[in-house]
Chain A
């Protein structure tokens, strides 16, 4: 039974990214303006010392110690478990169990970090390569390591729509609650850096060899990052039973397709415009109600002009404050929607506006300029979070203050 106006609340958050191993550490870096980007240390690749990336500053053994998962599994599962566990513990629902609980996760390439090491042996001899390195190749297998680690069994699934994956997993989770299929959903996504992705993006010539400059006139491309971000979504009934402060609610969401090109966004930002406007419509809000936009803002020439154009078409002056936190975390692909959802609800809870680092020359084609300074004690009522990806998949989420 679907209830359109049923509220879906955020009761817990968890994040691990290049700027911090947990929520508090990430917030500290956001406040101090410290980016997590630097030279490659973890991957064995010819791009070392050439392409900067945003690595999580924990080794696989350290992540294993923090999560209880074996250090030999995909780093994507280790990162996912780290953030999902933080979110789950933050929500503090254990005393209410059993609840109908689901995990809706996302990633872009599953256990590829392990598969690529398997493949170098396998291509020489198809009986070679250790099977334990491909056993969790599938995107869903990575999710199941996290589900099993958290003891979630009632419902589990995985979405992969490139860079919009975890925005889609969050609102699929919310819909499962609105349809009264689940009471609680841990939703978000994870992605580790892999040679596969690094080389793939490199062939597209959209990687910046310096630190990325989202929404700058002279932007050159994106820096890849890694990490995970999850929110714990709960129904009204569950929200009433927990005594903790809720972070806010997911008031709007939408998914549209740009249908322009497999990897490039349309110049007029068709898909992003549709996603943002439909999310606003579902939330019952007007563009002027949005306090802050957490931009997709990858730093590529194409994304930023497309997204910026869509914002220019949809909003009018005075424009909402906006920034791309990818200037801190790099582009974490399937994790980015989850990480940025966490940053969005934290902005609401604490009254923060995050800066867009390294912005030197604002884009001439746009009538607005992203924020360059960290601001606190702000009134942040509604945050729009954008996630757009390959395949034209565009999704927007709106989080609102209670």
Chain B
């Protein structure tokens, strides 16, 4: 069964929300933390709601609203979303006050909004949408699980339209903690130089991306999402190759049917060896496009990657910013990403 991507809404460090040139004017930030380019939220959310919302709730909700506006849909049949970290800012606020105030004189707002399902719930509340609503919180599989849920709902015909998305934020606390785990580069770097560094670590990223998926085609679809597949802790390159071959076989495709591979390289010398190994084997002949210099690394960055693949097919163009000379006739894109070499995922996107 085909799943059609009817509309998107993507808030990222780049100017990706709504209509505009497709990755022509890049946002360049130096450091190891790529913050989102945020929109004027008043365009999307009632001011009385905005005041209470933390940054990630605003980003998630606005991306969802942009997506629904583009689709011309007021009330989707289901809402599924993924977030690895949930609402970190509110979690941090409540934790800090709890410690500093010795559990006294605490107020509920930060606690209420720290719940992982807050974004999905806020969208439902704003839309008065009583339909299926689910939130996945599994690290580098969060978005993929939400997409799989959406695709199953469409195949079951439980839903004809699903709003599916992902959101994760960087906070000062999460950046400090993840830095101590050695995730990010020690030296300042412009994001556009990410792949030239060949040093340890990557650049922190964040974003909120939503998609209106349907089991019915429409005249304005971006592309179709043919498959989502995850695999956990593969033993090595051979196992990665086996999973990729297995997915293609299940879709009755061969490697030659893939016009472009969107790869999740993040500039970390060690982590990228996983991709480099495939560059020498199964992807040796394929044009490759990269995206994490645009959005940074975070567990739900595949939301950005899906937006990118869908947009390449819709716009029939490969922006220069992706690291490959433009070429035409891109009909089928395979997205391959791994997070920390634990969570590996594949998404297959094709022209309708």
B95 touches A116 (CB 8 A): yes
- Whether A158 pairs with B138 at a CB distance below 8 angstroms is yes
Find out whether the CB atom of A161 lies under 8 angstroms from the CB atom of B135.
Answer: yes
Within 8 A of A (CB), among B230-270: 230, 232-233
Residues of B at the A interface (CB closer than 8 Å) are: 79, 84-86, 92, 94-96, 98-100, 102-104, 106-108, 111-118, 120-122, 124-125, 127-139, 141-142, 145, 149, 152, 155-156, 173, 176-177, 180-181, 230, 232-233, 342
Q: Which of B106, B122, B142 contacts A203 (CB 8 A)?
A: B106
Q: Are A271 and B132 in contact (CB under 8 A)?
A: no
Does A301 sit within 8 A of B, measured CB to CB? no
List 14 other contacts, CB 8 Å, given A144-B139, A168-B134. A46-B104, A116-B99, A126-B173, A154-B232, A161-B116, A161-B134, A179-B152, A200-B114, A204-B111, A257-B129, A257-B130, A257-B133, A262-B122, A391-B115
B149 to chain A, nearest CB (A): 7
Bound complex: CA A263 to CA B133 (Å): 15
Residues of B within 8 A of A200 (CB): 94, 108, 111-112, 114
A378 at the A/B interface (Cβ < 8 Å)?
A: no
In the complex, are the beta carbons of B141 and A139 less than 8 A apart?
no
Interface segment, one of A63-71, A117-125, A339-347, A359-367:
A117-125
When distances are taken between beta carbons in the complex, the residues of chain B under 8 Å from A157 are 136, 138, 141, 145, 230
| Residue of A with least CB distance to B149 | A172
- A window 191-211: CB within 8 A of B: 195-196, 199-200, 202-204
A122 touches B173 (CB 8 A): yes
Q: Which residues on the A side are within 8 Å of B112 (C-beta)?
A: 200, 204, 262-263, 390
> B130 near A274 (CB under 8 angstroms)?
yes
B-contact 0/1 string along A129-164, CB 8 Å cutoff: 001001100111101100100000111111111100
Q: State whether A45 and B176 are in contact (beta carbons under 8 Å apart), knowing that A256-B131, A257-B133 are contacts in the complex.
A: no
Interchain CB contact under 8 A, B141 and A140: yes
Question: Are B117 and A391 interface neighbours, CB within 8 A?
Answer: yes
Chain A positions within 8 Å of B180 at CB level: 127, 131
Nearest residue in A to B233 (C-beta to C-beta)? A153
B95 and A119 form a contact (CB under 8 A): yes
Q: Which of B86, B111, B149, B232 contacts A139 (CB 8 A)?
A: B86
Give the 8 A-B CB pairs with smallest separation, nearest first: A391-B121, A200-B111, A140-B138, A160-B116, A140-B139, A203-B108, A139-B137, A158-B138
A115 on the interface (CB 8 Å rule)? yes
- Residue A392, interface by CB 8 Å: yes
- Bound form: Cα–Cα A204–B129 in Å: 25
Question: Are A259 and B177 interface neighbours, CB within 8 A?
Answer: no
Q: A158-B138, A262-B121 given as contacts; is B130 within 8 A of A122 (CB)?
A: no
B139 adjacent to A141 (CB under 8 Å): yes
Q: Which residues of B contact A203 (CB under 8 A)?
A: 106-108, 111
Contact A256–B181 (Cβ < 8 Å): no
List residues of chain B with CB within 8 A of the CB of A140.
Answer: 84, 137-139, 141-142
Say whether B132 contacts A161, CB under 8 Å: no
A: residues with CB less than 8 A from B are 2, 4, 45-47, 108, 110, 115-116, 119-120, 122-123, 126-127, 131, 134-135, 138-141, 143-144, 147, 153-162, 168, 172, 175-176, 179, 195-196, 199-200, 202-204, 254-263, 270-271, 274, 389-393
Which residues of chain B have C-beta atoms less than 8 A from A122's C-beta?
Answer: 173, 176-177
If A160-B86, A203-B107 touch, whether A390 touches B121 (CB-CB below 8 Å) is yes
Bound form: Cα–Cα A199–B105 in Å: 10
How far apart sit A140 and B131, CA to CA, in the bound complex (Å)? 25
Name the A residues within 8 Å of B125 (CB-CB): 259-262, 392
Interface SS of A by simple majority: mixed
B124 touches A202 (CB 8 A): no
User: Are A123 and B137 touching (Cβ within 8 A)?
Assistant: no
- B98→A116 contact, CB < 8 A: yes
Q: Which residue of B lies closest to A143 (CB)?
A: B138
Residues of A with C-beta under 8 A to B176: 122, 126
CB-nearest residue of chain A to B114? A200
Nearest CB of A to B57, in Å: 10
Interface CB pairs A-B, < 8 A, 16: A2-B156, A46-B104, A119-B92, A119-B99, A122-B173, A123-B100, A138-B137, A141-B139, A159-B134, A160-B137, A175-B156, A200-B112, A203-B107, A204-B111, A204-B112, A257-B124
In the complex, are the beta carbons of B134 and A46 less than 8 A apart?
A: no
Residue in contact with B136 in the complex, picked from A116, A159, A176, A196, CB distance below 8 Å: A159
Q: Which of these, A161, A202, A260, contacts B133 with CB under 8 Å?
A: A161
| A143 proximity list for chain B (CB < 8 A) | 138
B139 near A257: Cβ-Cβ < 8 Å: no
In contact, A256 and B121 (Cβ under 8 angstroms)? no
Instruction: Using A108-B116, A122-B177, A391-B121 as known contacts, say yes or no to A259 and B137 having CB atoms under 8 A apart.
Output: no
Contacts of B181 in A (CB 8 A): 131, 135
Known: A143-B138, A259-B130. A393 touches B95 (CB 8 A): no
Residues A162 and B124 in contact, CB atoms below 8 Å apart: no
Question: What is the CA–CA distance of A156 and B343 in the complex, to the nearest angstrom?
Answer: 10
Which residues in B have their C-beta under 8 angstroms from that of A392?
Answer: 121, 124-125, 133
For B141, the chain A residues whose CB sits under 8 A away are 140, 156-157
Q: Which of B111, B127, B139, B230 is A199 in contact with, Cβ under 8 Å?
A: B111
Assembled-state Cα–Cα distance A127/B179 (Å): 10
CB distance from A246 to the nearest CB of B (A): 24
For A153, the chain B residues whose CB sits under 8 A away are: 232-233
A111 to chain B, nearest CB (A): 12
Q: Which residues from chain B contact A2 at a C-beta distance below 8 Å?
A: 152, 155-156
Q: Please, which residues of chain B bring their CB within 8 A of the CB of A135?
A: 181
